[in-house]
Amino acid sequence: MLLKCKNAFTLAELLITLTVCASLAALLLPAIAYIRPDKNKVLFKKAYYVAERMVYELVNDEDFYPTEGETVGLANTVRASYLGYTYGGDTEAKQKSKFCELFGRKVNIIGTTIPGKSTPPPYCEAARSKPNAFAIAGTPGAVYNAPSFVTTDGIAWYMPYSKFDKDMSAGNSAEAIYVDINNEAAPNCMYKKGTCDKPDIYRIYVEPDGKMYVNGEKEKAYLRSNNTAR
């Protein structure tokens, strides 16, 4: 009668295998964590490039912002038509909400926060101070409780309510777009070492001529990065 041999690991072999696996994991996990994309960085860079494209398209479109004398780009608040609706015009409210409305019309948004006709979108108007709102650092007294609109990727946009008519020669003509890359989810703060090390709100500056830049430490670091790794 032939006996069948049954192969099996000994306890010692099993322990050695587990030890090797643990050692490999200890070596590889930090590397995997390092190359894993930083979600906040990815979403901020996406928001920046969307803003860059939209501003470029708007400021270079003579139908939206015609060149007239010394009026520069976004500072031209004359009436403009798009998809059957009008933006800008004679009143202060229409002039200040023109950029926000046109921007919102050209991106994919959730809901209908950008209404038609000449009615200003609810939050394309001035910042509102209400309970449970989050304060945006660097803008004393400006508190937002709802975004101008939210794009389909979940990014909330807080657009400037402005005629872009500040004096460019004085070096303070830029207006700020704030983006909250996860909308209402925490932490709802801008970068501040020690208190908000992983921010979800970022600021993008836009000049009347369409030039864009960032000043924040995190924003600069993210845009300097050529990839999505940490």
In this predicted structure, what is the pLDDT of residue 148? 84
Comparison of pLDDT for 124 and 32, the residue scoring more: 124
Q: Looking at residues 149-169, what average pLDDT do you find?
A: 86
Average pLDDT along the chain: 78
In this predicted structure, what is the pLDDT of residue 181? 93
Res 184 pLDDT > 50: yes
CA distance 209 to 64: 13
Task: Characterize the bridge pairing of strands 143-144 and 134-135.
Answer: antiparallel
What tokens were used for 165?
Answer: 């008519």
Q: Could you tell me which residues are beta bridge partners of residue 135?
A: 143
Comparison of pLDDT for 112 and 195, the residue scoring more: 195
Residue 132: count other Cβ atoms within 10 Å of its Cβ: 5
Q: Looking at residues 16-21, what average pLDDT do you find?
A: 72
Confidence of residue 38 (pLDDT cuts 50, 70, 90): confident
Q: With pLDDT > 70 as the criterion, what percentage of the chain qualifies?
A: 67
Q: Could you tell me which residues are beta bridge partners of residue 206?
A: 175, 212
Q: Looking at residues 165-174, what average pLDDT do you find?
A: 74
Of residues 181, 184, 227, the one with CA closest to residue 204: 181
Q: Looking at residues 220-224, what average pLDDT do you find?
A: 93
In this predicted structure, what is the pLDDT of residue 149? 86
In this predicted structure, what is the pLDDT of residue 219? 95
Report how far apart, in Å, the C-alpha atoms of 73 and of each of 3, 77, 78, 189 are: 91, 9, 11, 31
**Among the listed ranges 58-62, 132-136, 152-156, 214-218, which one has the minimum average pLDDT value?**
132-136
Contacts of 152 (CB under 8 A, 6+ apart): 108, 109, 110
Confidence of residue 35 (pLDDT cuts 50, 70, 90): low
Confidence of residue 214 (pLDDT cuts 50, 70, 90): very high
The highest-confidence range among 1-5, 27-31, 215-219, by mean pLDDT, is: 215-219
Res 140 pLDDT > 50: no
Backbone angles phi, psi at 208, to 5 degrees: -55, -30
